[in-house]
Amino acid sequence: MSSPLFEAAKKNAERAYQLDQSGQSHQAVRYYVNAAEQLQQLINFTDDPNMKNLYFQKAMEYILRVKEIRGIIEPSENKPRSSRAPPEESDEISDAISSVIVREKPNVRWEDVAGMEEAKRALREAIILPMTRPDLFKGSRKPWKGVLMFGPPGCGKTYLCKAVASEVESTFFSVSAANLISKWLGESEKLVNELYERAVEEAPSIIFFDEIDALASARGGASENEAMRRVKTQLLQAVEGFATGDELLVTVGATNTPWDIDAAMRRRFERRVYITLPTSEAREKMFQIHTRGVDLASGVNFSELSSYTAGYTAADIALLCREALMRPIRELDAEGALKDLSVQPRAPDIDDFLQGMEHIKPSVSPKELARYEDWRDQFGG
Ligand SMILES: Nc1ncnc2c1ncn2[C@@H]1O[C@H](COP(=O)(O)OP(=O)(O)OP(=O)(O)O)[C@@H](O)[C@H]1O
Ligand SMILES: [Mg+2]
């Protein structure tokens, strides 16, 4: 994620932002233009549609700002003209918070989470109980401030965190660390600060930092990573000490490369929860959850499917179910039969699942798994 082009765009944006903030808007133009051009080039090198979108938005913002400075368009209401009066940052940052941070109530229910008993217990203790029974968490019995979920991709870290958030009456802030850095280039530090301030105001709050390892890669880098190091430092301080009173504020970090997290960061995430492959019982329930609402042929048996799918992640099973449910529709479509609105597909049968398993294989290897287990043995969870 830190290609030279990206780094160059970041530097230009930072410079532009600094100049603009300090009233030297006209000098900032050149840097905004450079940053916008580099971001537009980056779009061509990126496959990830989310990143493309972010680069695009940010580039558009710079171009708009340039137009404002040159007087081609009226300055927008909430972005004060920086030439004379010192700009008020907070409006811009508020916009930023709304655009990087998801605050809607997630729609994953606790009972939609198959298995993960240990992880659920840990999160109950870390988040749900302190929020529902704050009276029990007084004095030395303090709730955890930082919880780290780690484990291989697709095993339910994000999913479980959403379920936690919908279980408790709390404000849920969800931030992708990678987006925070790439989208907010020089401004991420302020964003972290503002985020925590708001979380304290709206406590009880859960701040979910997905892909927290993206922040850790700043470690040991040269000076071009200075901005990233500052964000990281800011975050470390925030996790530890933002809530000064009794406000309930918990930061949950998720990562699938826990070994990239350095000691300082690790220490803040005192409670660590290992999220790994589902057990056979959990897989059985996952088949049920992910085929809900579609009538299956009578021969489909979830416990049989579970026995065929040892080693599959939760995401693999969700994908397999979608594939199996899609097959009857795909058949009809190939015959061109779907144009007739009265035509209904047959019920998906066991064969659809077996055929699906030909394409969808376990995505995590035993060797990769062993690496997580080594880390857990060393650092807990
Ligand atoms: N316990 C579960 N019960 C039912 N479905 C689950 C469960 N855990 C995960 N899933 C399914 O698997 C999908 C992938 O899970 P999720 O995105 O939470 O993985 P992750 O661990 O966050 O992966 P990554 O590290 O790649 O971000 C979910 O969208 C959901 O459909
Ligand atoms: Mg995730």
Task: Express each pLDDT in 37-49 by its tens digit.
Answer: 888 888 777 777 7
The domain 280-363 having CATH identifier 1.10.8.60: the answer here is: yes
Strands 171-176 and 271-274: unpaired
What residues contact residue 375 under an 8 Å CB cut-off, 6+ apart? 150, 258, 259, 381
Q: In this predicted model, what pLDDT tens digit does every residue of 25-38 receive, in sequence order?
A: 888 888 888 888 88
d(CA 233, CA 11): 19
Give residue 338 CA to ligand 2 midpoint distance, Å.
35
Which residue bears the tokens 């603009």? 20
pLDDT reading at 314 higher than 70: yes
Regarding the beta carbon of 161 and ligand 1, being less than 6 Å apart is answered no
Q: What is the pLDDT of residue 311?
A: 96
CATH class of 4-87: mainly alpha
So what's the pLDDT on residue 76? Answer: 59
The protein residue whose alpha carbon is closest to atom 25 in ligand 1 is: 153
Question: Given this model, what pLDDT does residue 84 score?
Answer: 29
Expressed in angstroms and rounded, the spacing between residue 359 Cα and the centre of ligand 2 is 23
Which comes out higher in pLDDT, residue 83 or 90? 90
* Cα–Cα dist 312/145, whole Å: 32
**Domains in the chain: boundaries:** 4-87, 110-277+372-379, 280-363
| Long-range pairs of 24-32 with CB within 8 A, sequence gap ≥ 24 | 25/69, 25/81, 25/82, 25/83, 26/69, 28/65, 28/69, 29/66, 29/69, 29/70, 32/62, 32/63, 32/65, 32/66
Helix, strand, coil share of the chain (percent; to 5) = 60, 10, 35
| Predicted confidence (pLDDT) per residue in 224-264, tens digit | 466 677 777 888 888 877 666 667 888 999 999 999 888 88
Question: 159 C-alpha to center of ligand 1: Å?
Answer: 5
Q: What is the DSSP letter of 18?
A: H
| pLDDT at residue 178, as a whole number | 73
CB atoms within 10 A of CB 84: 9
Sign of the alpha-carbon dihedral angle for 192, 231, 235, 100: positive
- What does the mean pLDDT of the chain come to? 83
pLDDT beyond 50 at 223 = no
Categorize the per-residue pLDDT at 75 as very low, low, confident or very high, splitting at 50, 70 and 90: low
Number of H helices and E strands in the chain, helices first, is 17, 6
Residue range 70-84: average pLDDT? Answer: 53
For residue 166, the model assigns a pLDDT of 82
At 346-359, the pLDDT tens digits run 999 999 999 999 99
Paired tokens of 350:
């066991």
Q: Is 157 a pocket residue for ligand 1 (Cβ < 6 Å)? A: yes
Work out the pLDDT band at 50, boundaries 50, 70, 90. confident
CA of 339 to the centre of ligand 2 (A): 38
CB of 115 closer than 6 A to ligand 1? yes
Q: Which amino acid is at 346?
A: R
Which position has the token pair 């964003």?
191
pLDDT at 102: 61
Q: Would you state the structure tokens that stand for residue 249, as one six-digit string?
A: 């504020």
CB-CB neighbours of 161 under 10 Å: 26
Question: Domain 110-277+372-379 belongs to what architecture?
Answer: 3-Layer(aba) Sandwich (3.40)
pLDDT at residue 292, as a whole number: 95
Query: What pLDDT shows up at residue 363?
Result: 96
